[in-house]
Amino acid sequence: MAEEIILLDYWASMFGMRTRIALEEKGVKYEYREEDLSNKSPLLLEMNPIHKKIPVLIHKGKPICESLIQVQYIDELWPDANPILPSDPYQRAHARFWADYIDKKTYVPCKALRSETGEKQEAAKMEFIEVLKTLDSELGEKSFFGGNEFGLVDIAFIGFYSWFRTYEEVANLTIVAKFPRLISWAQRCLKRESVAKALPDSDKVLKSVSDHRKIVLGID
């Protein structure tokens, strides 16, 4: 039976990637629809009137907005295949805390890294490096953020990996050399089919952002 799932998304969105990964982890068939963020579809505006943002998951005609909420929804609907949240309440709270941390602390600096220059970009660099340090420390020597199993926090953060090359180039940040444990973790995640399918090529992201910066900021 078709589940009638539509995902309104944008190919380079690290938030959209989360939902794509979750759907793939559960083996759920869905229709992917690319949104032009400079010309949002009537469906997007109807399904997410509050924020008007992607990703939007539409299940049997009903919208679910906000990527981490979508991931939890998918996990609850298909609990048997590849659980995303652990079953223990304390471990669940721990996972939600770190997913929330990622959302709280990356949104503003990452926007500035890709769209600003000068002092604003410098400040964003410092903030982002602090986030990476904190996440690196939290990951420690574990295979995944939750321990031995791929889960919510990994899904929350892995999309950012496809943006690392972009941040290194346009913001002159050193990430790969400074955070080998995070890079190993990312490579480990990429071995999963769901992640490999969901993440775009890093060079494609870089080109898209560079082109945009040329037009908007006049930077060559």
For another protein, the closer CB: 85 or 209: 85
> Taking CB under 8 A as the rule, does residue 72 contact another protein?
yes
Stretch that binds another protein, among 58-66, 121-129, 173-181, 186-194 (CB under 8 A): 58-66
Please tell me the distance from the alpha carbon of residue 165 to that of residue 175, in angstroms, as a whole number.
8
Stretch that binds another protein, among 34-42, 67-75, 153-161, 210-218 (CB under 8 A): 67-75
Buried b (16+ CB within 10 A) or exposed e, 1-26: eeeebbbbbeebbbbbbbbbbbbbbb
**Rounded least distance, CB 29 to another protein, Å:** 18
Please tell me the distance from the alpha carbon of residue 9 to that of residue 138, in angstroms, as a whole number.
30
Contact with another protein (CB under 8 A): which of 69, 81, 108, 217?
A: 69
For another protein, the closer CB: 25 or 209: 25
DSSP track, 57-120:
EEETTEEEESHHHHHHHHHHHS-SSS-SS-SSHHHHHHHHHHHHHHHHHHHHHHHHHHH--HHH
Stretch that binds another protein, among 23-31, 56-64, 118-126, 210-218 (CB under 8 A): 56-64
> Taking CB under 8 A as the rule, does residue 31 contact another protein?
no
In the beta sheet, which residues pair with residue 62?
A: 59
**Rounded least distance, CB 211 to another protein, Å:** 30
> What is the binding site for another protein (CB under 8 A)?
50, 59, 62, 64-66, 69-70, 72-73, 76-77, 89-90, 92-93, 96-97, 100-101, 134
